[in-house]
Structure 1
Amino acid sequence: MDSTVLSVVVPMFNEEAVIPALVDRLRPALDGLGVPYEVVAVDDGSADRTATLLFEHGRTWPELRLVKLRRNSGHQAALTAGLQRARGDWVVSIDADLQDPPETIAEMLRVAREDGLDVVYGVRADRSTDTAFKRHTAGAYYRVMRRLVGADVPAQAGDFRLLSRDVVEVLKRLPERAPVYRLLVPSLGFASGSVRYARERRAAGETKYPLRKMVGLAWDSAANFSAAPLRIATWLGLGAFAACLALMIFGLVVWSNGTVIPGWTSLFLAVLMLSAVQLICLGLLGEYVARIYRTVQNRPTFHIGFDSATGDGQLDIPRQRSAAGRR
C-alpha cells in the first residue's frame, strides 16, 4: 500500500451548512493531484450535525478521516490535533468555509517540490470579499506582529499553508501550550515560499471568528512571542513617575509663590493615576504568570474522542441545540 503523500487538515466547529460544498470542491481538487492523500477533518466539539455529516461522507469517500474532539477546544487546538494525527509527507491546513480555495493546494505542492521548500504560505492577494473593517484590522494585526516578532512573518497569510514532514515533526516536539501557528511556523526558520490567491466569500454558515476571537488571537500572538506588553508596563510606570514629578514641581512653585493649593484635587488625581498604572502593570504580570502556571500544569489542550482511521474512541453525536456555542 502506498504511503500517504498529502494530508489536508480541516478544523471544523458547527460547520454542517458548508460541509456539502466543501466536499464537492475539495475532493475533485485532491483526486486530481494523482497522489495518495487523506483529509483529516477535526470536529472541534460541534453542537450541530458536523460530525454526523463527516462520518456519512466518509463512507463514500475513503480518504476522509473524522477526528472528533470531546469538547470545544478552540481553532488552534483543533489544528494541533490534526497536525499530530496527520500521516502525510506534506500537510496542508485549510479552513472549512472555502474562503481559501482548495484548488490552490496543487500549486502549493508544486512550488514546494520544485523549489525545495519546507513551507508554502497561502497569501491573500485580494481581500475584496471581506468587510472594510476586517481588511483594516487584519492589516493592523500583521503590521504589529511584524514589528514585534520580526519581518519573517508573511503579511496576509493566515492558517492556509503547506508544511513538510520535517516541519510537522518539529512542531509536534515544541512545548507550546497555546500555539499561534501563523507566527510559530515563520519563527522556525525553514525554507519557505508563498502562493497568492484571491480570498472568496464564505460558502455557507456564519463566521467562527467574531471580534472577540480576533482580539483574543491578537493578544495570544503578542503575549506568546514578545515581552512587549511587559515593556508597556515599564513605560507606563515611567510616564506616571514623570507626571507625578511634574505635579510635585508645580506644587513647589505654587507654594513658593504663596498661593494656596487646592490639595484634595491634586492629591486625588495623583492617587488615581498611580493606582490605574499599578493595576495595569499587575494585570499584565498576571497574564504572563497565568501562562507559566498553565505550562507547569502540563494539561492537554484537547482530548481525542474518536478517530475514524484508527477506530480509537467512540463516536458520540450530541443532540442539536437551538443555540449552538461559538469558538
Structure 2
Amino acid sequence: MLPLFAERIRPVLDALGVSYEVLTVDDGSRDATPVVLDLIRRGWPELRVVRLRRNSGHQNALTAGLHRARGAYVVSIDVDLQDPPEVIAEMLRLAETQGLDVVHGVRTDRSTDTPFKRWTAGLYYRVVRRVAGSPVPSNAGDFRLLSRTAVDALVDLPEHLPVYRLLVPWLGLPSGEVTYARARRAAGRSKYPLAKMVRLAIDSLTGFSAAPLRLATWLGCAGIVLCGLLAAVVVGLHLWGNVVPGWASIIVAMVFLGALQLLCLGLLGEYVARIFTTLQGRPSYVVAADSFLDERPYAASRR
C-alpha cells in the first residue's frame, strides 16, 4: 500500500503550494514496512517516519501522530486509499475560507463495504449520538482536518483510551464537512477485524457516557419486577389448586437473576478497568524512532 499511497498523495500536497510534512506512524508492523518507508523517504524529503515499538492500536497510533505533528493544519488519513487524498485540498480550502478548526470527511457512498459493515456502522453512530449526546456526523471516521488549536486541545486532554471520532466533536470547535465516496482497498486486507470494532464501540460508550451503568440499574429494577410477577403467578396457581413443579420456577428465577448479575458486573468491570488503566499511568504508545528527531543533529552539524 505504501508506494501506491505515496504516488497518490504527493502530487496533491505538492499542488497546494505550501510547506508540508507527511508523518507516517508505523504501529509496530512486523513486515517490510520500515524498509519500504526508508526507500520512499530517500526521494521524498517531506516524509517523516515515526515507528512504535509495539502495536498500540489505531487510536493510540493517531495519538502518536497528533502529539508529533507540527503543521498549522493536520490531516489524519489511513493509507489504504479508501479515503481519497484528493479531498485534502478541499478540506484545507474550506477551513481557511470559513475559519473552521475541524473539517470532517463524511462518506456519502459506502457501497464498497459489505452490507454487515454498513449496518453495524449505522447502528454505531445512532447509538453513540443517543447515548453519548455527542454531535457526531454520520459516516465520519478518522479522516479529518484539524487546526493547530484543535490539535493542541486534543493533546492537552488526559485521555488514555481516546476515541477521536467522539473527542473531536466534543470540543465544540467550529466545524464543517466534506463528502466523498468511499473506495475499495487498493491492496492488501484490513487488519481491523470485528473484535476491534466491538472494542471501539465499548470504548466509545464507556468513555463518553454513564448510560451503561444506568442500564444496569434499570435492568436490576426490571428483574425485580419480573421476579415479583413470577412469584405472583406461582402463588395464584397454587391457590387455584394447580400443581406446578417447584423446581421449574426456581430454576427460571435463578438463571434470570444470575444472568442479570453477571451483566451488571460486566458493565461495572468496564468502568473499573478504565479507572485501573488511568491510575497505572502507562503511556498509550512507545516510540522506537522518529526520522525527524534522528536527523536533527546531522542537520545542525551541516549548518
Other-structure match for 1:264: 247
Other-structure match for 1:70: 53
Write the deviation string for residues 244-273 of structure 1: whole angstroms up to 9, x where unpaired.
101111122123234333111111111111
Q: What letter is aligned with 2:236?
A: V
213-222 or 88-97, larger mean C-alpha shift: 213-222
Write the deviation string for residues 65-115 of structure 1: whole angstroms up to 9, x where unpaired.
000000000000000000000000000000010000001000000000000
The count of corresponding residues between Structure 1 and Structure 2 is 295
TM alignment of 1:38-57, pairs within 5 A: 38-57=21-40
Contact 2:100/2:175 (8 A) holds in 1: yes
Write the deviation string for residues 125-182 of structure 1: whole angstroms up to 9, x where unpaired.
1111112221111111111111112351111100000000011111111011110000
Matching residue within 132, 153, 160 for 1:170:
153
* Secondary structure of 1:311's aligned partner: helix
Residue 256 (structure 2) pairs with residue 311 (structure 1): no
Residue 206 (structure 2) pairs with residue 209 (structure 1): no
100-109 or 265-274, larger mean C-alpha shift: 265-274
TM alignment of 1:190-201, pairs within 5 A: 190-201=173-184
Residue 151 (structure 2) pairs with residue 159 (structure 1): no
Displacement of 1:238 in angstroms is 1.4
Other-structure match for 2:98: 115
Q: What letter is aligned with 1:272?
A: V
Other-structure match for 1:180: 163
How far apart are the structure 2 equivalents of 1:135 and 1:244? Answer: 39
How far apart are the structure 1 equivalents of 2:111 and 2:258? Answer: 45
Residue 14 (structure 2) pairs with residue 37 (structure 1): no
Other-structure match for 2:208: 225
How far apart are the structure 2 equivalents of 1:71 and 1:267? Answer: 51
* Secondary structure of 1:152's aligned partner: coil
TM-score relative to the length of structure 1: 0.88
How far apart are the structure 2 equivalents of 1:132 and 1:290? Answer: 33
Displacement of 1:213 in angstroms is 1.3
How far apart are the structure 1 equivalents of 2:130 and 2:255? Answer: 32
* Secondary structure of 2:273's aligned partner: helix
Write the deviation string for residues 255-310 of structure 1: whole angstroms up to 9, x where unpaired.
32343331111111111111111111111101110110110111101100000001
71-80 or 242-251, larger mean C-alpha shift: 242-251
Other-structure match for 2:219: 236
* Secondary structure of 1:309's aligned partner: helix
How far apart are the structure 2 equivalents of 1:219 and 1:279? Answer: 17
Q: What letter is aligned with 2:93?
A: R
Residue 83 (structure 2) pairs with residue 103 (structure 1): no
Whichever structure has more helix as a proportion of its residues is 2
Moved over 6 A (4+): none
* Secondary structure of 2:230's aligned partner: helix
Contact 2:220/2:260 (8 A) holds in 1: yes
Taking only the aligned residue pairs, the percentage that are identical comes to 62
Other-structure match for 2:230: 247
Other-structure match for 1:284: 267
How far apart are the structure 2 equivalents of 1:172 and 1:46? Answer: 24
Write the deviation string for residues 222-254 of structure 1: whole angstroms up to 9, x where unpaired.
111111211221122112111110111112212
TM-score relative to the length of structure 2: 0.95
* Secondary structure of 2:293's aligned partner: coil
How far apart are the structure 2 equivalents of 1:156 and 1:259? Answer: 57
**Structure 1 regions of 5+ residues with no counterpart?**
1-17, 313-327
How far apart are the structure 2 equivalents of 1:146 and 1:292? Answer: 24
Matching residue within 275, 285, 298 for 1:302:
285
Q: What letter is aligned with 1:181?
A: Y
* Secondary structure of 1:209's aligned partner: coil
* Secondary structure of 2:71's aligned partner: coil
**Structure 2 regions of 5+ residues with no counterpart?**
296-303
How far apart are the structure 1 equivalents of 2:113 and 2:239? Answer: 62
Write the deviation string for residues 165-211 of structure 1: whole angstroms up to 9, x where unpaired.
01111111101111000011001100000101111111111012221
